[in-house]
Amino acid sequence: MKQQGTATSYSVKVIHPSQFNRLIAIHCAVLEVQAEPQSKMTDTPSSVEHLSVVMTTETVDDVTQTTVSNVVTSSSRGIEFYIQYAVIVIGVVGTVANALILYALVASKQHKKHVLIFHQNALDFICSLLLIITYALKLCNFYLTGLGGYWFCMLVLSENLTWCIIIASKTNLMIVTIERYLKVVYPIWSKKKLRKWVIYSAIAFAWISAIVHINGLTYPTSNVVDGVCYSYVFYESRVAQVAYVIWYFLSFYVIILIIFIFCYWRILVVIRRQARVMASHSGPGPSTAQTQSRKIQTSVIKTMILVSAFYAISDLPMNVYILLMNIEAQLTLLDGGYYASMIISFLYFCANPFIYATKFDPVKRVLLRLIPCRQTPVEPVESVEMAVVRMAQSRN
């Protein structure tokens, strides 16, 4: 029987302390503090400001045992509390900005011509909205009990829903890049093969692969321990965790970055070659309709290059930090470097709309018309493209 002055302990099979640092567990902070005497604590869950964990390990027959203790600490939230508010602000800005871009795409009829780009903005909008909901609920610091607490942990506090959208967004951005590449480098082939069913199948793949990936990761590695949600923590072995982190880094950063560089490099080469051919031709210059059509295509490519470049820059610190954290046990999720990389990564979702607003001409026109003091007498995109069609028909 335990003495009254000692803390109540629960023995749980989990990973080694160096494995506690996880890829997507941006909310799971491990605080190593001294347990206060139980006589200074009240027994009701409502009096517990925060539950942290004290990790001590011993290996018996290759099984790691971890003792999890209830500890009360007034500084347990620390900077994490303010970071959650910062993420909510990012989510609010991203939700409003992406909603404006979605409106502009619909108003300019570009949502039908550039389905994947519209889908990309829709994913960013949903992700920004989920950031607000998820981190606002985290601020409530719920004590989880029963089946409802388990599912609340699995779906919301573990950021399952949010990361499903994030992974789908990354996959869709890669698909957009490949689509742009095929349309510019192989225009004849793409007109025959890139039918609507192919585009919608690619969208479905982005969603299905993300849902299978994140749910396959969340449920085996997450659980509720003593009223606290611990997500992406309970791996079977350190080898499995490190293998997953390396696979994630290669699949969702390195390979995507290689696709960006190769595809947009080839696109720029083809565009410059076409420009030289057009310049070498003698005779009358291209019509205004042709010039406008080419300008729209160029603005799409420039926009997606900037979006892809910003993704590569904003996602790099987080990927590198998580990779190093799983190799070097001294790094934790409480370091300033982690919080800085997390904020930079989430800024991607609220910064993208500003790229579309300044670089994508059809969207820019619609947004400028929303400004009362500045009316731009620019010919609508639809009339320009209709002029191109009529000119092609007259030639035939």
Distance of CA 15 to the CA centre of its chain: 26
pLDDT for residue 208 is more than 50 = yes
Q: So what's the pLDDT on residue 337?
A: 78
pLDDT for residue 18 is more than 50 = no
Task: Check residue 373 and report its DSSP letter.
Answer: T
The gap between the terminal CA atoms of the chain, to the nearest Å, is 95
Write out the H or E segment, with its range, that includes residue 351: helix 336-359
Q: So what's the pLDDT on residue 210?
A: 97
Question: Considering only 3-7, 151-155, 308-312, 340-344, which range has the smallest mean pLDDT?
Answer: 3-7
pLDDT category, 88, cuts 50, 70, 90? very high
Residue 104: is it exposed, middle or buried by C-beta count within 10 angstroms (0-12/13-18/19+)?
Answer: buried
Longest dimension (CA), the chain: 99
Helices and strands of the chain, counted as H and E runs: 13, 5
For 274-283, what is the mean pLDDT? 70
Higher pLDDT, 377 or 192: 192
Write out the H or E segment, with its range, that includes residue 294: helix 288-327
Q: So what's the pLDDT on residue 283?
A: 53
pLDDT tens-digit profile of 214-260? Answer: 999 999 999 999 999 998 888 888 889 899 999 999 999 999 999 99
- Give the DSSP letter string of 229-272: EE-S---S-HHHHHHHHHHHHIIIIIHHHHHHHHHHHHHHHHHH
289, two tokens = 């309709």
Domain ranges of the chain: 9-69, 78-281+299-372
pLDDT for residue 205 is more than 50 = yes
Fold for 78-281+299-372, please state it. Answer: Rhopdopsin 7-helix transmembrane proteins (1.20.1070)
Residue 235 region by backbone torsions, left for phi larger than 0, else alpha for psi between -120 and 50, else beta: beta
Q: Which residues of 236-257 are buried (b: 16+ CB within 10 A; e: fewer)?
A: eeeeebbebbeebbeebbeebb
Q: What is the mean pLDDT of the chain?
A: 76
For 149-173, what is the mean pLDDT? 95
Question: Considering only 102-106, 112-116, 388-392, which range has the smallest mean pLDDT?
Answer: 388-392
260, two tokens = 């960006």
Q: So what's the pLDDT on residue 238?
A: 87
Question: Considering only 29-43, 170-184, 293-307, which range has the smallest mean pLDDT?
Answer: 29-43
Say which amino acid occupies 184: V
CA–CA separation, 124 vs 94, rounded Å?
Answer: 8
**What is the length of the chain?**
396
Write out the H or E segment, with its range, that includes residue 64: strand 63-69
Contact 342, 26 (CB under 8 A): yes
CA–CA separation, 185 vs 189, rounded Å?
Answer: 9
CA–CA separation, 392 vs 396, rounded Å?
Answer: 7
For 39-57, what is the mean pLDDT? 33
Cβ-based neighbour number of residue 372 at 10 Å = 6
210, two tokens = 């993300």
- Residues of the chain with pLDDT > 90, as a percent, come to 41
pLDDT for residue 72 is more than 60 = no
CA–CA separation, 314 vs 295, rounded Å?
Answer: 28
Higher pLDDT, 65 or 390: 390
pLDDT category, 287, cuts 50, 70, 90? low
Q: So what's the pLDDT on residue 14?
A: 37
| Residue 9 φ then ψ, to 5° | -120, 150
CA–CA separation, 355 vs 348, rounded Å?
Answer: 11
For 73-96, what is the mean pLDDT? 79
